[in-house]
Amino acid sequence: MGRLDYSTKVSREGMDQIHAAGGADFTAKQFDWILKKMKEIGGAAPGNITVLDLRGETHGLIDGNVFMRWIPNNYVNEGKPTEEVVASEKKLVDSLKGKGTVEMYATDDRWSADIAKPKLSFKSPKLQTEEELVKSTGASYYRLATTNHFRPDDHEVDLYVDFMKKLPEDRWLFIHCYAGEGRTTNFMVMTDIFKNYKKASFDDIAARQGLIGPVDVRAELAVTGKTHYKMKASVERRIFLEQFYLYAKDTDFSKPWSQWARARGICLKYYPDF
Sign of the alpha-carbon dihedral angle for 174, 177, 182, 183? negative
Share of the chain above pLDDT 70, in %: 86
Rounded to two decimals, the pTM is: 0.90
Q: How far is CA 163 from the centre of its chain?
A: 14
Residue 182 · residue 148 · CB < 8 Å: yes
Query: pLDDT per residue over 5-49, tens digit each?
Result: 666 789 999 999 999 999 999 999 999 999 999 999 889 999 999
DSSP code of 49? E
Report the SS3 class of residue 162.
helix
Give the helix/strand (H/E) hosting 62: strand 59-62
Amino acid at 123: K
CA dihedral 46, 61, 53, 18 (to 10 degrees): 30
Q: What is the mean pLDDT of the chain?
A: 88
What is the Cα–Cα distance from 66 to 91, expressed in whole angstroms?
17
What does the angle CA 49 – CA 50 – CA 53 come to, to the nearest 5 degrees?
Answer: 145
What is the Cα–Cα distance from 103 to 105, expressed in whole angstroms?
7
Query: pLDDT per residue over 245-255, tens digit each?
Result: 999 999 999 99
What is the Cα–Cα distance from 246 to 215, expressed in whole angstroms?
21
Burial of residue 114, with CB atoms counted within 10 A of its CB: 0-12 exposed, 13-18 middle, 19 or more buried: exposed
Domain 16-70+130-263 maps to which CATH number in 3.90.190.10, 3.90.45.10, 3.40.50.300, 1.10.540.10? 3.90.190.10
Query: pLDDT per residue over 62-90, tens digit each?
Result: 999 999 988 776 778 988 999 999 999 99
- Residue 110 pLDDT: 63
- With a CB cutoff of 8 Å and minimum separation 6, the contacts of 28 are 61, 64, 65, 133
